[in-house]
Amino acid sequence: MENPFEEILSAIEELINDNTVPKNIKKKMDESKKFLLEENQAPTIRANKALSKLDELSEETNIPAYTRTQIWNIVSMLETIK
């Protein structure tokens, strides 16, 4: 079975490797990535856990505007998993 999170994981990895993204944002992105990689849970549960973590990021004030847009795009992709 194809991984439904492949494109999402790629987008998260891109943000984690971006030098302009603050470290605290990268840490939460990495936590979201770990939720998506938990193979012992249903895809919807994994997506909801990641969405919860990304929702916390929307409250951050030190996110560059383009990074916030990328996070919203990831959230939109995760919402289609439901």
pLDDT digits (tens, 9 = 90+) for 21-55: 999 999 999 999 999 999 899 999 999 999 999 98
Look-up of token digits 């979201």: 32
> Residue 35 and residue 56: Cα distance in Å, rounded?
14
Q: What is the pLDDT of residue 45?
A: 93
Average pLDDT over residues 17-24: 93
> Residue 6 and residue 43: Cα distance in Å, rounded?
12
Q: What is the pLDDT of residue 2?
A: 58
DSSP state of 64: -
Looking at domain 6-79, its CATH class is: mainly alpha
